[in-house]
A and B are shown apart, each in its own frame.
Chain A
Amino acid sequence: MSTPTPPAPLTPAAPTASGATAAAGAIDARKTYGVGDAQVHALDGVTVSFEAGKFSAIMGPSGSGKSTLLHCLAGLDTLTTGATFIGDTYLASLDDKALTELRRTNVGFIFQAFNLIPTLTAEENIRLPMMLGGDSGDQAWIDHVVETVGMRDRLRHRPSELSGGQQQRVAVARALASRPQIIFADEPTGNLDSVTGTEILSFMRNAVREFGQTIVMVTHDPVAASYADRVVFVGDGRITGELTDPTADQVIDHLRNWN
């Protein structure tokens, strides 16, 4: 690949576990909306990296910039200044075509809601990223993923015929199906009841444990964050701290202290 290899990430405020490789990250990322007095800094100099093969969470209150950070990391949105990278690729160096290609092959997405194309069946939704690239994917792997999320019986159903939890399971399967380098999840349990939410989080954690999948998840739920290997806290567009192998209580304490 002609893209230059990124330098070793600058030492972040809270160093990552030593020896691990970064699957994605941001270097002095700034994102500004508006001009003059109305200027808002959604990201105000964020430097952070996320390890490969780990389940990371980004936490912060509404308006903290956590979603913007995720969108920019995933190449869905662009920075005002600074850089983001996935693996050894700087996103700013890619044009729309290359970025699309990157998202299709190296990135998976799970959103809070409206995750699936309403006119396609569950199976077609799962295969969609591969189909867009014109290949049929690894059938054995897809079968395995479908089995894991327990959707084998529902493959021919349309999203409107599935419950919220089932829809989100299809979304998880879609994200896993192409074996992306990294999966970004934006409040994946935000619209689900606690039982279904727990189920989805367990799937995600298992995918990390069993398949070595890298997942970065944005959430404001301490319980959801406790499923992650590491939690990064964001406030006012900056990194305000982090926890490794957190419990829900630790997360709550951290939030309380910060406030």
Chain B
Amino acid sequence: MSAGTLIARKSVRARWGRTLAILFAITASVSFVVGSFVLADSLRATFDSLFQELNEQVDLEVRAAQAFDSDDARDPIDVAIADAIRAVDGVAIAEPILQRYAQLLDADGQAISPPGGPTFGVSWEGDDGLQGVTVKEGRAPSGPDELAIDKATADTEGFAVGDTVSYLTDIGTFQGTISGTVGLGSADSFGGAQLVALDLETALVHFGADGKVDAIDISVADGFDVTEVQRAIGAVLPPQTEVVTGEEVAQETADNVNQFVGVFGTGLLIFAFITAFVSAFIINNVFQITIGQRLRELALLRAVGASGRQVRWMISIEAFALGALATVLGILGGLLVARGLIAAFDAAGAGFPDTKTVLQARTILVAAIVGIGITMASVIVPSRRAAKIPPVAAMRPELGFAAMRSRRLVAGVVVTVVGITMFMVGLFLRPGGTRGLAVFAGLGALLLFLGVASLSSTVATPVTRVIGWPIEKLFKVPGALARQNVARVPRRTSSSASALMIGVALVSSTAVFASSLRASLVDTLESAVSADYIVTDSGFQGLSPVVSETLAAVPELEAVTPIRGISGQVDGSTKNFGAVDPVAFDKLVDPDLQSGTIAELGVNELLLHKDPAADLDASVGSTVDVTFQNGVEQTLTVAGIYGDATFGNWLIGLDTLAEISEAPARDFFVIAKLADGVDPATGDVAVRAAMAPFPQANVQTNAEFLDSQEAQINQLLLIITLLLAFAILIAILGISITLALGVFERTREIGLLRAVGMNKRQTRRSVRWEAVIVSTFGALIGIVVGTFLGVVLTLAVPDDVISKLAFNPTIIVAILIGAVVAGLVAALYPSYKASNMNVLEAIATE
């Protein structure tokens, strides 16, 4: 074994506490990274095979064609098409598929809402059909008085086969007997959704489908070629319909889900990398300090013949070994994290089917890069410094410290400026679209953190003196000692505080962004929208048009309009068209009309925002050719041009939408206004009474809507803080190790203080407040940096979305309180260590 390896190994073994702390930091980061990948890969694999399985019996599917790829629901097709298909040679089964809104009611007539999942009504032909539904108990429903429900809902609500239950649909309330319970493969639930299954005849009537279905699934008889049959079916189809293979449908469905899984996985991954970044800071700091402590040892090695390279090598081997071990532990930890998250989702009602755990080679590679990479990167600087220690430092340590010092001010300023520039370029210039934005802004923020971490040591002494002032006043000598100890090692203070700074900066930038978002929303609601009520959908399918029709019939309300949507292409680029009731919209919204009319918006007319109007060089009376997603082509005449984009850039009337598409109308939300002279209390009673039969409609006054938006913003902040929990925990651990190492270095000094009469409590107190000063310092810098990032971010968002800047002092206070708590937690071990020192031994220490 070479001397380098030997010493590295011994060093790891002799410094267990430090080694464990570093191991924890890296393992946590790697676990998080691996967990994100494994979770996404596992869900993807699960959904892929699930949808393949579900569509196993479906060879072909007939559905409405789309003119271009769109997330909009396809138009429904005539159920009678199924008869034409059945007549085609080689078709074994042709099963119309229908899915609409339905929701079960409990014994008291209250709607049952599954936690976090949607509620569906579907048509189901039982075993004769092709849908991959598994019967758990009983049998398929048959006739207008029967229904099947998912077993998970039956179990939680205590429903059994044979019970009579009521359910809501878009057109009313129906009653039926439960003929059976169903599940999806081995799972009792359909991804957490509540399911009401009816036979086709009943479904067409009860769901108000008006003889139209979503699609027709087909199985091809044995001995026939699927492609041949597909061609034959294609020949009998009416225009604007298409026939595709079952695999394609399965893949499209899986892709849709996977897109969501991908976004979710990427989100987790970002926080995983933040954790890794914070860990690198801590590892760097720990190595930096321990190299200072091993200075004489390293100098002695140099004196007896170790070259500078050997010293650097030694420290690198030590780091490599730790990184490699942590990578292995991290991969195991990551598998646990992924399983844990899936279990947590299941507990929250997601109802995932049996999930495989997928560990790809790519995940292992990334884990190794992160685990070994961050450790090695963190010791580049410390090991270089160690190599610079002159051998004479074995006898005169002060020369060693002088040699290790390096100038960081210039580098810090450069890195900070480059970071800020990249961040701004990314957000404002967006080179290369969204990807460029993410890369530039992300790298910029990273550099900014590095730069600030390096620069903060120059302000550490004065700032911590100010933070320490009240502590000194309050705790006399221990407080004064804490204050001085922090100030005398500014670089160490700033680097252990930096880890916390990053977490705090991310939270506070989000806070600025969220507060500004809320303030802008308040502004819009107060100035542009004069609605008293906002009705949103608490499910996931959008509101039935019955909701807005019912509200429109309430005499206390003066104006009611739903907001619907459809996508269409103008000059080959896809636009989202909003559809409203023009007369009501005119009374409810002031969209800063610049020319034309709103109220008199007619069929096949268009209201256009000034920006696209300028792009198209359109004015009132101009025409715009649009191809909608269902293939309908329509020339729209511009009736008005407006300046406020709160409701989007393209608006048409509800009647125009009805002309274009037969798809079942779904409203994003409905806004309504009380008539003049109606007492708000009376009006409120009337509105809520009218909405009572619609549990999925969430009726909110203007103020309630704002409150709920605020609650959502706070929830977002909370989730971000939770995702940063690992990073914050590691930051606290970092402060703790730094402090413990500091206590170790000051053994003699502490022994002396104890000898001249400082008691254990005072000793603990001085270490504790030292930690609090460091953590508060980190939080302060984090708030400053985070607020800056948040302001830039907010300014970069178009004015349509965020029009004004706002700050949230409550969150800043909460962060500062959190920082004090973090400091107290970090001090637990070092303060115990300091106060339990043997005084005699401590003084005798060289």
Contacts and interface: CB of A to CB of B under 8 A. Distances in A.
Interface of A: 67, 71, 74, 76-77, 96-97, 100-101, 103-105, 107-109, 111-120, 124, 128-129, 131-134, 174, 186
Nearest to A133: B305
Nearest to B305: A104
A108 B303 CA distance: 9
Interface residues of B, number: 26
A132 to B, nearest CB: 5
Contact of A109 (B6, B14, B304): B304
A161 B94 CA distance: 87
Given A114-B300, A124-B6, A101 B305 contact: yes
A137 to B, nearest CB: 12
Interface stretch (B47-55, B389-397, B422-430, B531-539): B389-397
A129 B7 CA distance: 13
A67 B301 contact: no
A131 B6 contact: yes
B304 A114 contact: no
Nearest to A178: B305
A174 B305 CA distance: 12
Contact of B301 (A77, A117, A186): A117
Contacts of B304: 103-104, 108-109, 128-129, 132, 174
Given A109-B304, A132-B305, A174-B304, A117 B7 contact: yes
6 contacts: A76-B390, A108-B304, A109-B303, A115-B300, A131-B3, A132-B306
B741 to A, nearest CB: 16
Chief secondary structure at chain B's binding surface: helix
Contacts of A133: 305
* Centre residue among B14, B300, B301, B305 by max chain A CB count within 10 A: B305
A101 B305 CA distance: 6
Contact of A134 (B2, B10, B300, B308): B2
A109 B305 CA distance: 10
B307 interface: yes
B392 A77 contact: yes
B3 A132 contact: yes
Given A77-B392, A113-B846, A115-B300, A128 B307 contact: no
A174 B303 CA distance: 12
B391 A103 contact: yes
A119 B305 contact: no
A119 B13 contact: yes
Given A67-B395, A71-B392, A76-B390, A100 B307 contact: yes
Main secondary structure of the interface of A (DSSP, over half): mixed
Given A119-B7, A131-B6, A186 B395 contact: yes
B302 interface: yes
B355 interface: no
A221 B301 CA distance: 28
A54 to B, nearest CB: 23
A133 B3 CA distance: 8
A118 to B, nearest CB: 7
State the 3 A-B residue pairs at the shortest beta-carbon distance, nearest first. Answer: A104-B305, A131-B3, A119-B10
B395 A129 contact: no
A178 to B, nearest CB: 8
B11 interface: yes
Given A104-B305, A132-B305, A132-B306, A111 B394 contact: yes
Contacts of A104: 304-306
Given A96-B308, A114-B300, A132-B307, 4 more contacts: A67-B395, A71-B395, A117-B301, A131-B3
Contact of A114 (B11, B13, B307, B846): B846
B297 interface: yes
Task: Specify which of A74, A101, A114, A124 lies most central, judged by the most chain B CB atoms within 10 Å of its CB.
Answer: A114
A115 to B, nearest CB: 7
A150 B304 CA distance: 22
Nearest to A99: B391
Given A118-B14, A118-B297, A129 B392 contact: no
Contacts of B308: 96, 100
Contacts of B394: 76, 111, 114
B3 A128 contact: yes
B305 A103 contact: yes
Contact of B296 (A97, A114, A186): A114
B398 to A, nearest CB: 12
B646 interface: no
A119 B3 contact: no
A117 B294 CA distance: 10
A100 B395 contact: no
B14, B304, B395: most-surrounded residue (chain A CB, <10 A): B304
A117 B305 contact: no
A250 B11 CA distance: 48
Contacts of B10: 119-120, 124
Interface string B8-24: 00110110000000000
A145 B759 CA distance: 50
B99 interface: no
A105 B305 contact: yes
Contacts of A111: 300, 394-395
Given A114-B296, A120-B6, A132-B3, A97 B307 contact: yes
B709 interface: no
A208 B10 CA distance: 34
Contacts of B701: none
B11 to A, nearest CB: 5
Interface string B287-303: 00000000011001111
Nearest to B397: A114
A97 B395 CA distance: 21
A122 to B, nearest CB: 13
Nearest to A72: B392
Contacts of A119: 7, 10-11, 13-14
B57 interface: no
Interface in B378-396: 390-392, 394-395
B314 to A, nearest CB: 10
Interface string B316-335: 00000000000000000000
Given A114-B296, A114-B394, A100 B306 contact: yes
Nearest to B297: A117
A219 B392 CA distance: 18
A105 B301 CA distance: 13
B3 A100 contact: no
A258 B679 CA distance: 112
B762 interface: no
A103 B10 CA distance: 24
Given A100-B307, A119-B11, A76 B392 contact: yes
A142 to B, nearest CB: 15
B394 to A, nearest CB: 6
Contacts of B300: 111, 114-117
A109 B13 CA distance: 27
A244 B296 CA distance: 35
B310 interface: yes
A206 B95 CA distance: 105
A76 B303 contact: yes
Contacts of B395: 67, 71, 76, 111-112, 186
A16 B89 CA distance: 120
Residue of A76, A108, A120 with most partner-chain B CB within 10 A:
A76
A130 to B, nearest CB: 9
Contacts of A96: 307-308
Nearest to B296: A114
Contact of B303 (A97, A103, A113, A134): A103
Contacts of A131: 2-3, 6
Contacts of A120: 6-7, 10
A112 to B, nearest CB: 8
B301 A132 contact: yes
Contact of A76 (B11, B14, B307, B391): B391
B9 to A, nearest CB: 9
Contacts of B305: 100-101, 103-105, 107, 129, 132-133
